[in-house]
C-alpha cells in the first residue's frame, strides 16, 4: 500500500465517522457549500493529481469554503 492509498483511506475514515455531513454525527443543518464535499473533492484530487498536488488543491478548496463564497459544483 502506498502513501496515496493510505491518505485516501484516512479521508474515507473521516467521512464515515467524524464528518458532520457524511458520518456518524450527521447533522441535517450542516452541508458543504460545494458539490462534491470538500473531503470528497480532496480524495478525487489525490486520485487524479497525486498526493502533493491533490492535498494542496484540497486545502485551497477548504479555504474557499467560507460564508463569503457562493459554492456550487466544483469538480477537480
Query: 11 pLDDT exceeds 80?
Result: yes
- Predicted TM-score of the model (pTM): 0.84
Domain ranges of the chain: 3-73
Q: Higher-confidence residue: 39 or 76?
A: 39
> How many Å apart are CA 27 and CA 43, to the nearest integer?
22
CA distances from 52 to 1, 8, 13, 41, 68 (A): 17, 13, 20, 14, 27
Amino acid at each position: 500500500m502506498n502513501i496515496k492509498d493510505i491518505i485516501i483511506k484516512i479521508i474515507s475514515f473521516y467521512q464515515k465517522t467524524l464528518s458532520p455531513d457524511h458520518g456518524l454525527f450527521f447533522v441535517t443543518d450542516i452541508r458543504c457549500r460545494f458539490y462534491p464535499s470538500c473531503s470528497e473533492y480532496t480524495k478525487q484530487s489525490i486520485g487524479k493529481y497525486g498526493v502533493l498536488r491533490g492535498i494542496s488543491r484540497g486545502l485551497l478548496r477548504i479555504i474557499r469554503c467560507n460564508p463569503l463564497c457562493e459554492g456550487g459544483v466544483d469538480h477537480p
